[in-house]
Amino acid sequence: MWDRDEPRYLKLLGGKLPRLSNRFKAALAGDARHISDEDLHELLRRDWRPRLTAAWLIGLDRRVRFRQTVGELLLNSEVCYAGQGYCFALANFGQSHDAEILTAYLDRYLPRTDCYYDQHWAIGALLHLDDRLGTHHADRYLTTGLWQASAFSRLDPAVYQQAISDLCDTARALGNVAGQGGPGFGDFEA
């Protein structure tokens, strides 16, 4: 098991999942498959720490039935850091509906130079979805100067696209191992 002395949300913060131990990833993926929807709803009603963790669990298990809830939480931006998890979940769901949510978020918050929220994670998730779906939603932010005029202009959106892509690849790999009937997640080395 992972080090239970360090809270799970600290390991998830900043999109570090691909660099974490296989043991941690396996435990997280196992919990994502087994946690009840009721428990996830309860976590999403709390502060940013449980919300971040719940979003990761939702995204890993691709529980698209949470799309509307995750989208509303992202758009409301009530707490810090949880948006990272919401953006990952939407990117991992991988549908046009998810791109629409991310676009609505960026339309609302990117023009505001006083809001340092999760716009960088949202643009990375949108670029990931554009690549996957063959769409060009992110172009309107990158080619019009809106990104360059934003509070995040110093950040390279391609870096966050790669981070989201790495996270989704990690999630897919965890799901593939689980579906193969091979060694259990607990058999992975730390």
Q: Give me the tens of pLDDT residue by residue for the chain, a chain 190 residues long.
A: 334 556 888 888 788 889 988 999 999 999 999 999 999 999 999 999 999 999 999 999 999 999 999 999 999 998 888 999 999 999 999 999 999 999 999 999 999 878 888 999 999 999 999 999 999 999 999 999 999 999 899 999 999 999 999 999 999 999 865 543 333 333 322 2
Q: Please give the DSSP secondary-structure letter assigned to residue 15.
A: S
Task: Give the amino acid at 83.
Answer: G
Residues 6+ apart with CB under 8 A from 95: 64, 133
**What is the extent of the structural domain holding 113?**
8-178
* Global confidence as pTM: 0.89
Q: Provide, for the chain, the percentages of residues in helix, strand and coil under a 3-state DSSP scheme, each rounded to the nearest 5.
A: 65, 0, 35
Residue 112 lies in a domain: yes
Residue 56 lies in a domain: yes
Residue 121 lies in a domain: yes
- The answer to whether 60 and 29 are in contact (CB under 8 A) is yes
Tokens 């060694």 belong to which residue?
183
Residue 41 lies in a domain: yes
* Residue 38 pLDDT: 97
* Residue 8 pLDDT: 84
Residue 186 lies in a domain: no
Per the structure, the count of domains in the chain is 1
* Residue 79 pLDDT: 87
Residue 171 lies in a domain: yes
Write the DSSP assignment of 33-71 as a string of letters: HHS-HHHHHHHTTS-HHHHHHHHHHHHHTT-GGGHHHHH
* Residue 6 pLDDT: 67
Residue 2 lies in a domain: no
Residue 185 lies in a domain: no
The secondary structure element, H or E, covering residue 154 is none
